[in-house]
Structure formats: C-alpha cells, structure tokens
Amino acid sequence: MIAKRTLVLLACAAWTAGAAAADAAKKSGGDARRGEAMVERHCNACHARHFDGDASRIYLRADRKVTTPAQLAAQITYCNTELGTGYFPDDEQHIAAYLNERYYHFH
C-alpha cells in the first residue's frame, strides 16, 4: 500500500509538471490539430464511459473542475499517467492546445 505521504508527493509532482506544461504550451502554442487526433484516439473512449457515451460532456458540465490553463495541463498529465498513453510533454501541449481551442478558451 502506498503511504499517504507518497501520494501527496506524487500529486505535487503531477501538479508541478502540469504547471510547467501549461507555461510551455503558452509559449509554444501546441498544435491543436495534432492534439485533436490524440484526444480522439485515447481520451474520448474513457470520457464517454463516464458520461453516458458523450465524451464532450466532461468539458461542458456545469461543475467543471478545470478552470485555468495550469489545471488543464495538470489534468492532461494525470490522464496521460493513468491511461499509460506514454505521451511526451510536447504531446500534452498539443492536447492542451486542442482542448483550449475547442472547449476552454483560456487566453
């Protein structure tokens, strides 16, 4: 069993990596078109299972948990780890660019 302290450290590391990815995404912009393909390939199936077959509902719900670019980047990093997709940080930036363009509209 993983100790509570280890879980906290892992969560902090994921948040820090996500924040760094958000900063990098702002600077590089990411490629939304490439990100769209990755979202369709890996993310939508998981989201659809949780939202009665409609993957986009995770982004459109009233109680949206992602409200900043840093939170978006952290969530992408978390999902990448949980799904074991093996995406690199630049891949995560592409995903963030697509999700921002399509759903979040952060500036």
18 lies in a domain? no
* Tens of pLDDT, residues 47-77: 999 899 999 999 988 898 899 999 999 999 9
81 lies in a domain? yes
pLDDT at 24 over 50: no
CATH number, position 83 = 1.10.760
19 lies in a domain? no
**Residue whose pair of structure tokens reads 């948040």 in the numeric block:** 15
106 lies in a domain? yes
C-alpha distance from residue 79 to each of 27, 73, 85, 95 (Å): 22, 10, 9, 11
The CB density around residue 104, as the number of other CB atoms within 10 Å, is 17
Which residues, at least 6 apart from 32, have a Cβ–Cβ distance to it below 8 Å? Answer: 94, 97, 98, 100, 101, 102
Range of the domain at 59: 33-107
| pLDDT at res. 10 | 53
